[in-house]
Chains A and B, each alone.
Chain A
Amino acid sequence: MSVAPASTHVASHDAHDDRTRRRRLVLALMVLAIALSVAGLVVGSQGWSWQAFVSDVSGPQADLIVGQIRAPRTLGALMIGALLGLAGAVAQGLFRNPLADPYLLGSAAGASFAVVLVLAASTLTGHAISLATAALLSRIGIVAAAFAGALVGVLLTLMLARGAQQGVRLLLAGVVVGVVLGAAGDLVTTISPDALRGKQVFMLGSTGFLGWSSVWVLLAGLAIALPITCRLARVLDALSLGDDTAASLGLPLPRIRLALVVLMALCTGLAVSQSGLVAFVGLVAPHLVRRYAPAPHSYTLAASAGMGGVLLLAADVLARGLIAPQELPVGVLTAVLGGGYLLWLLHRRRVG
Chain B
Amino acid sequence: MNELSARSLQVSLGGRLVLRDVSCTFKKGWTAVVGPNGAGKSTLLRALAGLQPRAAGSVCLDGRDIAAFNPGERARRIAWLAQQAEVTGELTARETVHLGRLPHLGLFGSPTAADETIVDAAMNSTECHGWQCRRLHELSGGERQRVMLARALATQAPILLLDEPTTHLDPPHQVALARLFRRLADTHTVVSVLHDLTLALHADRILVMRVGAVQACGKHDDPALHQALVATFDGAVRIDNRGARPMAVPHLED
Interface residues of A (CB under 8 A from B): 1-3, 6-9, 11-15, 18, 93, 96, 231-232, 234-238, 240-242, 244-245, 247-252, 256, 290, 294-297, 300
Contacts and interface: CB of A to CB of B under 8 A. Distances in A.
Contacts of A247: 51, 71
B177 A244 contact: no
B90 A290 contact: yes
Contacts of B179: 1-2
Nearest 7 CB-CB pairings of A with B: A250-B75, A240-B89, A242-B86, A294-B90, A250-B72, A7-B130, A248-B80
A237 B108 contact: no
A297 B175 CA distance: 36
Nearest to A16: B133
A244 B80 contact: yes
Contacts of A236: 89
A241 B87 contact: yes
A8 B143 CA distance: 12
B75 A1 contact: no
A238 B99 contact: yes
Interface string B78-89: 111010011111
A5 to B, nearest CB: 10
Contact of A3 (B76, B89, B176): B176
Interface residues of B, number: 52
B95 A252 contact: no
Contacts of B92: 13, 15, 18
Given A13-B92, A231-B107, A240 B176 contact: no
A237 B131 contact: no
A11 B131 contact: yes
Contacts of B82: 241-242, 244-245
B134 interface: yes
A217 to B, nearest CB: 28
B75 A249 contact: yes
Most buried by A among B85, B86, B143: B86
Contacts of A237: 89, 91, 95, 99
Given A244-B51, A245-B82, A252 B130 contact: no
Contact of B91 (A96, A240, A250): A240
A307 B172 CA distance: 47
Nearest to A11: B133
Contacts of B51: 244, 247-248
A297 B132 CA distance: 18
Contacts of B120: none
A1 B125 contact: yes
A250 B138 contact: no
24 contacts: A1-B173, A2-B127, A2-B176, A7-B127, A7-B131, A9-B131, A9-B143, A13-B134, A13-B138, A18-B133, A231-B108, A241-B86, A241-B148, A244-B51, A245-B82, A245-B86, A248-B75, A249-B102, A249-B103, A250-B73, A250-B103, A290-B90, A296-B91, A300-B90
B219 interface: no
B133 A232 contact: no
A185 B143 CA distance: 53
B44 to A, nearest CB: 14
Nearest to B170: A3
Contacts of B175: 3
A257 to B, nearest CB: 13
Contacts of A232: 107
A259 to B, nearest CB: 10
Given A1-B180, A3-B173, A244-B51, A250 B76 contact: yes
Nearest to B100: A249
Contacts of B108: 231
A1 B127 contact: yes
Contacts of B66: none
Contacts of B80: 244-245, 248
B74 interface: yes
Contacts of A96: 86, 88-89
